[in-house]
Chain A
Amino acid sequence: MARRVIEIKNLTYSYPDGTDALRGINLEVFEGEILGIIGPNRAGKSTLLLHLNGILRGKGYIRILGLDISDGNLKKIRSKVGMVFQDPDNQLFMPTVFEDVAFGPLNMGLPKHEVQKAVTEALQKVDMLDSMKRISHHLSFGEKRRISIATVLSMKPEILVLDEPSSNMDPKHRRDLINFLKGLEITRIIATHDLDMVLDICNRVALIDKNTIVADGDVLDILSDKDLMEAHNLEVPYRITGYKTS
């Protein structure tokens, strides 16, 4: 059996103003899995993602790669869990592409030549090597997305966490992104409304609604369950309607 890379038991989190954001979350992710996290708006998807690298710290049991979320482990966890945020303008904060992709490796304390190597490799992976010297605000949206992914790949993470990676992308770039994500070999966790992408990439899906996980299992089983999907403001993707009648 594959190694357990994420282990969450009975995780609860409330916003500073007291409203519940997550309730009794139980989740296990195994090495190499591609987990889709789906659910309506404000269900708690992004909040859950922010727990995976210790940005938020709710009550409950969390182990990331066997490490608990403590101040001492934070640095290691953050270099192993690559988090790509939804808005590339928040992800890309340095003036040039190179500096942005180098930001993570530099913070990991890598020596100069290794930083350069990591940056080159990461940019190569997202096919943006030619843009190394460009200024971030001169990039198109699709390019910004790809660079955003490169900024965490340069840290050589073991887990890649993406929040709405396909939003605002034109169909071609969305398809390129899907193929790219499919081709990676690390554990991937993708929160999204793009259910077709979930069908294409993921081998497991967790449905979150009202701050808790309501279903967790095989992609086709969950996505084709009309009653379940519609009860949570989702719908069965058109291309699998009729796959299973319930």
Chain B
Amino acid sequence: MSKLHIDQYSNLESVIHHRDPRIKLIAFFALVLFIVITPPESFMTFALYGTFIFILILLSKIPIKYVIKRSIIIIPFVLIIVVFTPFLKKGSILWDYQIGSIKIAITYEGLIMLWNVLIKAYLSLLSMILLMASTRFINLIKAMRCLRLPKLVVMIFSFMYRYLFVLHDELTKMKYAKESRTMGDKRFFRIKVLSNMLGVLFIKSYERGESLYLAMCSRGFDGTIRTLDQDRLTKNDIFFLLLVAVLLAFIMMSGYFID
């Protein structure tokens, strides 16, 4: 049994958790879409989206600390991509500095672009984290299936989920075996061993993929993916979807009037 917890809060009881995963998938996708199409300078609209997400998180009873912690991990990756735009983008100069023959300048347009990417990425991330944390992964997979996402893509997601745990177990076992034979290691040695372990893990996964396919064929798999689904939507689900739609429309409109 694996100790990896990727959906540890998905069994809580809350209005958000009880919504049908299909509805959630649509609602959160719409939310992200609305966030992304917001004009960069509608600061009020972003604030409203932020408040909306914050209320959803409160309703879901998922600890805020957990959501923040999760979201912070991704921020550096976004930063790496956009951190130089204020210097590179041409426009009205807010601040400049001369070092020898090189002139460094920060432009207003560049700063707005940085803000635009950061706030959109962060708000989208928060909504995705909320979706993932409030839904069991297998239900999410079922939802994708119901919403007619390509079956192959859904199958890949489901394998990813299933084998993440197996791989984690294998890596843990290798780590124990390595530590059992390590007496005071040096940093360089550690990195070298880690790279070897990853190599072995890769080969193991490859071989597992082969055996897995044989096991699938043995049970009559012929390339067509067949599944059974039987969930029904409740009135509350429809109501939730409508509510989200109305709120999103409201926030978008208010953005136009306020700014």
Contact = CB atoms under 8 A, between A and B. Distances in A.
Contacts of B226: 106-107, 109
B217 interface: yes
Contacts of B2: 137
A85 B220 contact: no
B158 interface: yes
A50 interface: yes
Main secondary structure of the interface of A (DSSP, over half): helix
B253 interface: no
B166 A137 contact: yes
A186 to B, nearest CB: 16
B215 to A, nearest CB: 5
B99 interface: no
Contacts of A92: 162
Contact of B228 (A104, A115, A152): A115
What class of interface size applies to chain B in its complex with A? 20 to 34
A239 B163 CA distance: 41
Nearest to B139: A95
Contacts of A94: 158, 162
A96 interface: yes
Interface string A44-78: 00000010010100000000000000000001001
A190 interface: no
Contacts of A107: 219-222, 224, 226
B250 interface: no
Given A95-B158, A112-B228, A137-B162, A78 B220 contact: yes
Contacts of A75: 220, 222
A139 B169 CA distance: 13
B53 to A, nearest CB: 28
Given A135-B138, A137-B1, A89 B220 contact: no
B228 A95 contact: no
B226 to A, nearest CB: 4
A93 B215 contact: yes
B218 A53 contact: yes
Interface stretch (B25-33, B191-199, B206-214): B206-214
Contacts of A152: 218-219
Interface of A: 50, 53, 55, 75, 78-79, 81, 83, 85, 87, 89-96, 99, 102-104, 106-109, 112, 115-116, 135-140, 151-152, 155
